[in-house]
Amino acid sequence: MNYSGIIFDLDGVICFTDKYHYQAWKKMADEIGVYFDEVINNRLRGVSRMASLDIILERSKKEYSQEEKEKLAYEKNEIYKELLCKMSPADLSAEVKDTLDALRQKGCKLAIGSSSKNTKLILGRIGLDGYFDAISDGTNITHSKPDPEVFLKAAEFLGLNPSECLVVEDALAGIDAAVAGGFDSAGIGEAATHEKVTYPLESFSGLLGI
């Protein structure tokens, strides 16, 4: 491992909360009579809450004010947080935990770079509260991916330059953000197909081979 720091996206990399996001957006959309399905939901991956809402409201016949949008986003997040309470350390796979521990033993600094404002809540639920050396999330950024801000802040919090860090992502927008910020990247899932990903991986534990 030629990197001093590793910055991980949270959802789809460390753990999976996609189903809870989908259920929460679906409930909110149903309540306002807007069609929403899995295909539309796939467009929301790696996108901020308000940008996700704008995508959902593309199918709405009504124009919503900024205040109304913020209320809808708040309602969705309250539903989502209730669903997150179902999460537990069982939602953290042994492969992910063992790999993180091995990377730490190699001397790597570990950080989270996620657009989610619920990052700390999720980490607490899956047993990783206080585990990471730095957390950059939706509470400290103004631009979501593909803007590199969340990763640049994470590197700053680690006291490292982008060239010293590896970004681990599962979304195409996340790889775009890594490239824009001057980071090398490791892609899992869809992100492994990105033409600019540095290391396409078949599994999370593949990080140990870099």
Helices within the chain (DSSP H only): 18-31, 38-42, 49-56, 66-84, 94-105, 119-125, 149-158, 172-181
pLDDT of residue 42: 86
**Residues in a beta bridge with 184:** 166
Region 14-25: mean pLDDT is 93
Is residue 137 flagged as an active site residue?
A: no
The mean of the pLDDT values for the chain is 95
Q: Does residue 75 have a pLDDT over 80? A: yes
| Residue 29 half-sphere exposure toward CB, CA atoms < 13 A | 22
**What's phi and psi for 136, nearest 5 deg?**
-115, 120
Q: Does residue 174 have a pLDDT over 80? A: yes
- pLDDT band at 1; cut points 50, 70, 90: confident
Predicted confidence (pLDDT) per residue in 143-165, tens digit: 988 999 999 999 999 999 999 99
pLDDT of residue 48: 80
Domains of the chain, earliest start first: 5-16+89-209 (3.40.50.1000), 18-84 (1.10.150.240)
Q: Choose, from 11, 170, 176, 184, the residue flagged as catalytic.
A: 11
**Residues in a beta bridge with 12:** none
Tell me the pTM: 0.86
Task: Summarize the chain as % helix, strand, coil (round to 5).
Answer: 50, 10, 40
Q: Which residue do the tokens 């770079």 mark?
A: 113
* DSSP count for the chain of H helices, then E strands: 8, 6
Pairing of strands 134-136, 184-187: unpaired
Predicted confidence (pLDDT) per residue in 97-136, tens digit: 999 999 999 999 999 999 888 999 999 999 999 999 999 9
Region 162-174: mean pLDDT is 96
Q: Choose, from 9, 137, 170, 176, the residue flagged as catalytic.
A: 9
Region 170-189: mean pLDDT is 96
Instruction: List CB contacts of 5: < 8 A, sequence separation 6 or more.
Output: 108, 109, 110, 111, 133, 154, 155, 158, 160, 164, 165, 166
Q: Does residue 206 have a pLDDT over 80? A: yes
pLDDT of residue 124: 96
DSSP character at residue 73: H
Q: Does residue 45 have a pLDDT over 80? A: no
Closest CA to 203 of 168, 167, 173: 168
Region 24-50: mean pLDDT is 91
Q: Which residue has the higher pLDDT, 18 or 26?
A: 26
Region 18-30: mean pLDDT is 94
pLDDT of residue 96: 98
Is residue 11 flagged as an active site residue?
A: yes
Q: Does residue 4 have a pLDDT over 90? A: yes
